[in-house]
Amino acid sequence: MSEVLVLVDEVDGAVRKPTYELLTIAKRLGEPSAVFIGGAEAADAAVEAVKKYGAEKVYVVDDSEIKGYLVAPKAEVLAQLVEQASPAAVLVPSSVDGREIAGRLAIKIGSGLITDATDVQPGDDGPVTTQSVFAGNYTVQAKVTKGTPIIAVKPNAAAPEETAGAGAVEKFTPTISDAARKAKIVASQPRQASGRPELTEAAIVVSGGRGTGGNFDPIEGLADSLGAAVGASRAVVDSGWKPHSFQIGQTGKVVSPQLYIASGISGAIQHRAGMQTSKTIVAVNKDEEAPIFELVDFGVVGDLHTVLPAATEEINKRKG
């Protein structure tokens, strides 16, 4: 069976959940090989982590030479690994960086690229992907017809399955061109950890819009009672009430949780683009004509400042 390369997504050595999802998908397509590009000191822990989710091989690439540059060096690493391993496919997370690494890789190795896959299944002539397009109004199935399929996969595309892999470590030393080292990170300020789940990975998202008037206490209270992530509309971000990292929609994050609760959000097309594929949608809005109600499984016409705190209290009471 051919190898399937999986680019490990990690922050300071901690492997993130989408990596396990990619490994689970890789196992459907062939033999999962994880590609860890990071600090030597973090490699051992990362190897242990990906082994648990079926990585038969782990390519460990020391990033001390390429740290601090944007995506170009990582694309070179993957291109060289593809050359060496002739994999059946390359899977990367469909994040901002992941998609761009994939884009550069596609050109380098002359292979087709599919982004934003919400499912990947083996097919007669290579993997078949599923994406949702046009603000979630269409579902599209596609395949790569040239070269080694490169697929950028969205979070929650698969339920991670624990299964022991051999995890054989292979150190890989890439040749990085000078051209790849031209966009340099000169300063970086890590985002504050909120203690809540990551927006794109969360099972439940509670979001607030202009209707909050900038007071997010009711939104955050409800979110915490449900163990949910907190999101926002662009109106909230434009007003400076929350940073852009909270924004859901066309120009923010696209989420697809089990449950999405929108409060004080009207439901503009650009917002829908970021949440329309959620399994269950709930809205609280004081305007019964708000377009968001066209999408909901359940809605309350009312003031979020009274409805949400009362609901939160009731939920906390039930939880005991």
Partner 1 sequence: MNIVVCVKHVPDATADRQFESDNTVDREGVPGLMSELDEYAVEQSLQLKEKRATGDGGEEVTVTALTVGPEGAAEGLKKALQMGADKGVHVVDDAIAGSDAVATAKVLAGAVRKLGEVDLVVCGMASTDGAMSVVPAMLAELLDLPQVTFGSVVESQDKEFRIKRDGESATEVIGATAPLVLSVTDQSGEARYPSFKGIMAAKKKPVETWSLSDIDVDAGEVGAEAAWTAVISTEARPPRSKGEVVADEDGSGAKALVEFLASKKFI
Ligand X SMILES: Cc1cc2nc3c(=O)[nH]c(=O)nc-3n(C[C@H](O)[C@H](O)[C@H](O)COP(=O)(O)OP(=O)(O)OC[C@H]3O[C@@H](n4cnc5c(N)ncnc54)[C@H](O)[C@@H]3O)c2cc1C
Restricting to residues 62-121, name those near partner 1 by CB under 8 A.
70-72, 75, 95-97, 99-104, 106-108, 110-116
Q: How far is the CB of 52 from partner 1 (least distance, A)?
A: 23
**Structure tokens given for 265:** 């959000």
The residue type of 62 is D
- Cα distance between residue 6 and residue 230, in whole Å: 29
Cβ 48 to partner 1 shortest distance, Å:
22
Of partner 1, ligand X, none, which one does residue 290 interact with (CB within 5 to 8 Å by kind)? ligand X
Distance of alpha carbon 114 from alpha carbon 151, whole angstroms: 5
104-108 long-range contacts (CB < 8 A, ≥24 apart) are: 104/71, 104/72, 104/75, 105/75, 105/78, 105/79, 105/150, 106/150, 108/75, 108/76, 108/79
- Residue 296 amino acid letter: V
Q: From the list ligand X, partner 1, none, which binds 211 (C-beta under 5 to 8 Å, kind-based)? A: ligand X
Helix axes 217-226, 304-319, angle to 10 degrees: 30
Subset of 280-309 contacting ligand X (CB under 6 A): 284-287, 290, 303-305
Question: Cβ closer to partner 1: 41 or 146?
Answer: 146
Q: Which partner in ligand X, partner 1, none is near 70 (CB below 5 to 8 A by kind)? A: partner 1
Q: Which of residues 38, 155, 167, 209 is near ligand X by CB under 6 A?
A: 209
CB-wise, 266 or 276, nearer to ligand X? Answer: 266
What token pair was written down for 183? Answer: 């966009």
Structure tokens at 37: 């590009």
Closest CA to 95 of 67, 127, 126, 71: 71
Number of residues that bind ligand X (CB under 6 A): 28
- Token duo for residue 48: 């242990």
Residues 248-277, one symbol each (x = binds partner 1 by CB under 8 A, - = not), give: --xx------xx---------xx--x--xx
CA 292 to chain centre: 24
Residue window 224-263: x/- pattern of binding to ligand X, with contact defined by CB under 6 A: ---------xxxx----------xxxxxx-----------
Q: What is the CB neighbour count within 10 angstroms for residue 134?
A: 11
**Taking CB under 8 A as the rule, does residue 305 contact partner 1?**
no
Q: Which of residues 133-192 bind partner 1 (CB under 8 A)?
A: 133-147, 179, 182-191
Nearer to partner 1, 24 or 132 (CB): 132
The position carrying tokens 């469909």 is 94
Minimum CB distance to partner 1 smaller for 57 or for 202: 202
Residues that bind ligand X (CB under 6 A): 209-211, 233-236, 247-252, 264-266, 268, 270-271, 274, 284-287, 290, 303-305
